[in-house]
Structure 1
Amino acid sequence: MSTPVIPEPRAKVTRSNQMPGGINTEMFAWLFMRISGVLLVALIFGHLIVNLVVGEGVSAIDFAFVGGKWSSPFWQIWDLLMLWLAMIHGTNGVRTIINDYAERTGTRITLKTLLYLAFVITVVLGTLVIFTFEPCPPGSPDDLLPSICFG
């Protein structure tokens, strides 16, 4: 039975999470999680206050409400930041869980590929919806359009 060899305390260690030049990507991922978490709390509480507390509450949220809100670039950017930060934050968290619990390399690669694919599809489609949303499409019947189209 052999005794495990403990490396010298100041021995150079190479890690797979370091980029060339000694930049530790996991440290940046950890830091991003803290910063994005704080920003998400502010964005989400602002979103909830505007949508649920101010005005008539949840009963007022309909197609016209969203159309009126997204006619402002401010709310488009707000919702876009919330989407991107939440998706990056969540994807980074799930990536960490996959790295911690998926023991086989093939399983880890497959799960992370599916995760990144879901991330890209959700962010691309969400971004397209936010910036191409048209509450009053030309040529639509008047009885199908919300009241904001006639003001």
Structure 2
Amino acid sequence: MTTLEPRDVPPRLAIGAFILNSGLGKLKADAETAQGVHGMACVAYPFLKKIDPERFTRMLAWSEITVGGTLLAPFVPTRLAGLALTGFSGGLVGLYLRVPGMREPGSLRPTQNGIPLAKDFWMLGIGLGFLGAHVRRSRTAASRCPWHRSRG
């Protein structure tokens, strides 16, 4: 299990606060906002049409609150927080790639409309970096290994 390293604190705080704030804002979404959020998600993921827009927006809000809280909680291992961030941002990257008008034709470069979603690539990259966080091993485990014992 990884512990919270000082180098992980700034990205966890920044992204965690950003996602948490987004989720808290969506909890108060009115019907029109819920329709917009749901409509955009349905373009990328058609199976979501089966879910009521207001229910979908509430579930999305609670998902964002959970991911944001996971990143902000210092007792949550960085790799676990990275797993949550990678899964969440992977879905958002899929949205960016599938919704028409977010990218320039034949390119990954964002249009003006796509710039707000392009940040999800950064979150995905940071999440993948957290997944690769170093696992600390105790010295006793290393001393039991004959290879390490011979090095003295």
State TM-score, norm by structure 1.
0.33
Q: Which has the higher contact order (CA 8 A, sep 6+)?
A: 2
Answer with 1 or 2: which has the greater Rg: 1
State TM-score, norm by structure 2.
0.33
